[in-house]
Structure 1
Amino acid sequence: MGAECQYELAQAAYVKLALHALKHPAAAVNGLLVGRLLDGASSPVVVAVVDVVPLSHCPHHLPLLPTHELVLNLVEDHFGAQGLAVVGYYHANALRDDADLPAVAKRVGDHIFRNFPRAAVLLLNNNKLEEAVKGKNREPVVQHPILSNSSKWISSTVIWCAWTWV
């Protein structure tokens, strides 16, 4: 992925993706992260995620990659006029204890990565989401799998100081 990269996630975008998962607790949900690469000579590079576009929710996550590719193009066209682009993807599994990124999410992440090499993939942690709703936990409810040097999405420990809530 090149040089170190940090991400800013707008509060409205974070709330929208969490609400998408909460609205469909027995279904896998997913959507696109929309934002921009911030200009400047700052190091590390910053990707600002300003919005999310919920895509689907289904009890058994079907590999609908052609549909996702069509939606990617439509979202790029819509937000392109505002200087924004698809900068990532989010996914929540249907099962509460499932913390693995499914194959279709990896394929969509790969597709976005080809067009935006600083792409982020977020995996919602259903256990943390449930605890947050009950007021038992105030930690962020997302994990950030990263693309390894071997071009495989692997679990990563999120250093939340690298994520700025705006």
Structure 2
Amino acid sequence: MTNVGDCSKYIIHQTAYIKVVLHAVNHKTSAVNAVLLGRISGETVEITDSVPLFHSSNIGLLPPLEIALITIEEYYSAQGLSIVGYFHANERFDDLELGSVARNIADHVYRYFPQAAVLLLDNRKLGALQNKKDTGPVIQLYTRDSSKSWKQVESNRQLTTKEPSANIVLLDFISSEKWNDIVDFDDHLDDISKDWLNSGLFK
């Protein structure tokens, strides 16, 4: 098996990218997280979809996380997709570090899916994007090194968006307040009629 940490290039598709950022925008005063789905081919990881997980006190609890991971893995494995990463956005706007809660959850995901990498929202980049001063992804990439620690990957060439227009679409979604339509696993656990797949988001 190829581990994500051994790979050199990470490509995130527009669908996966927009979902995780909108989820964070929807819950500006809370930490939020998501699971990243995709495929590994040689030294390239393609993140094709994402599932927003939690935005409440559930974020650090293992039982809800395990329920979510089992449900998500069962659904997406039938489509030939695997869990290839974890996304986290911090509670505070100016917090740009991968904190202990995020690292613990990432370690748990890694234990079950040893190919997992971590994406962390960078609010500075998101702000620059809204001012049209930045065109790269508004997320930072972390991988697990040989010491089993999560280290930020400094090269911005290692993480790219699949579609060059992804940030333009993201800005359009933010300005039209599309983030109000995002459903996460927290919402689904509260009301099982809510669609955690967000099937209608891009329609």
TM-score range, shorter-chain basis? 0.7 to 0.9
Look up the equivalent residue of 2:73 and give its one-letter code: E
Distance in structure 2 (CA, Å) of the matches to 1:32 and 1:84: 12
Total equivalences in the alignment: 160
Structure 2 alignment gaps of length 5 or more? 164-203
Distance in structure 1 (CA, Å) of the matches to 2:39 and 2:126: 27
- How far 1:90 sits from its partner (Å)? 0.2
Distance in structure 2 (CA, Å) of the matches to 1:114 and 1:136: 38
1:22 to 25, 32, 36: 25
> Structure 1 or 2: larger strand share?
1
1:135 aligns with 2:132: yes
Look up the equivalent residue of 2:151 and give its one-letter code: I
1:165 to 162, 166, 176: 162
Look up the equivalent residue of 1:138 and give its one-letter code: T
1:145 to 139, 142, 146: 142
- State the partner residue of 1:47: 45
- State the partner residue of 2:14: 11
Normalised to the residue count of structure 2, the TM-score between the two structures is 0.70
1:57 aligns with 2:60: no
Q: Percent identity?
A: 40
Normalised to the residue count of structure 1, the TM-score between the two structures is 0.85
Distance 1:63 1:115, change over 3 A: closer
Check the 8 A contact 2:12/2:159 in 1, yes or no.
Answer: no
Alpha-carbon RMSD across the aligned residues, in angstroms, is 2.1
1:111 to 108, 111, 117: 108
Look up the equivalent residue of 2:22 and give its one-letter code: L
Structure 1 alignment gaps of length 5 or more? none
- How far 1:37 sits from its partner (Å)? 1.7
- How far 1:141 sits from its partner (Å)? 0.6
Check the 8 A contact 2:141/2:159 in 1, yes or no.
Answer: no
- How far 1:61 sits from its partner (Å)? 7.7
Check the 8 A contact 1:143/1:156 in 2, yes or no.
Answer: yes
- What secondary structure is seen at the aligned counterpart in 2 of 1:144? strand
Distance in structure 2 (CA, Å) of the matches to 1:61 and 1:92: 14
Look up the equivalent residue of 1:129 and give its one-letter code: L
Distance in structure 2 (CA, Å) of the matches to 1:46 and 1:139: 18
> Structure 1 or 2: larger helix share?
2
Distance in structure 2 (CA, Å) of the matches to 1:80 and 1:62: 24
Check the 8 A contact 2:39/2:46 in 1, yes or no.
Answer: yes
Distance in structure 1 (CA, Å) of the matches to 2:135 and 2:156: 15
